[in-house]
Amino acid sequence: MTTKKVGVISQARMTSTRLPGKVLLKAGGKTMLQHHVDRLRDAGLDVYIATTQNTSDDPIAAYAAQANIPCYRGDEHNVLSRFYECALRYGLDVIVRVTSDCPLIDGQLIADAVQQYLAWDDEAVYLSNALQRTFPRGFDFEIFSFGLLKEAFQNATLTADLEHVTPYINQNKSGRVTLRHYTQDKDASQFRITLDTPEDFELISLLMEQHGAHKLSGDEIMLLLENHPKLQNINAHVEQKKLGE
């Protein structure tokens, strides 16, 4: 069996309705995007950035060039096409999809999940920790084959499917997807360490600058939040955007 080429594709853009320019905000001496990429590299996989052709995203492309990260620039709204074209250009057989608003994502979790995925040796498998959620929001990843991505690219027509990349796959619209869930015994789904609002940035900044969270494992970050209810409360009221919003 030939070795599959696995790559992490992170979507990133500067425009955000609730926190514009969020991925280039700084805490702990680095931008959120730098923290995100640094932690992804702990997975031991190649990382790719998929951003838009808009001039507003030139700073993201500039960072990618400076950091020697392959960067694909595509359609702003059809993010599915952006992922497909990025994966096609770089010859990926297996895609790990993440979003750049997760500066504390755990690369070790991704590495473990990828090993599970590869062991099944089945291109119809979709593996994620975000559908059956036991990890904090902000540790999210999805793993799927280029075959499933191509099928979605060729057949998806709904706006939500195009904007959010994977609904066509994880809603099994083709009828051939095997859904698998990456979970942990302890439920930490109540924690929110994704970056979408000023409150989210306040929490992540405190976690990094007062607790060194950017140097901690996912388990250590979850324990930190568990032991500090006041930190949890900073953004506990924030509601996640729904698909299509």
Residues 10-20 pLDDT 10s: 999 998 888 98
pLDDT of 243 reads 47
Number of folded domains in the chain?
A: 1
Q: What is the C-alpha separation between 124 and 77, in angstroms, rounded?
A: 26
For 32-64, write each residue's pLDDT tens digit: 999 999 999 999 999 999 999 999 999 999 999
Classify residue 235: in a domain, yes or no: no
SS3 28: coil
Classify residue 168: in a domain, yes or no: yes
Q: What is the C-alpha separation between 206 and 233, in angstroms, rounded?
A: 13
Classify residue 137: in a domain, yes or no: yes
Q: Is the dihedral of CA 220, 166, 25, 29 positive or negative?
A: positive
Classify residue 238: in a domain, yes or no: no
Classify residue 127: in a domain, yes or no: yes
Residue 157's CATH number: 3.90.550.10
Classify residue 224: in a domain, yes or no: no
Classify residue 85: in a domain, yes or no: yes
For 217-230, write each residue's pLDDT tens digit: 999 999 999 999 99
* Average confidence score pLDDT of the chain: 95
Classify residue 231: in a domain, yes or no: no
Q: What is the C-alpha separation between 4 and 122, in angstroms, rounded?
A: 12
Instruction: Show the domain range for 66.
Output: 6-189
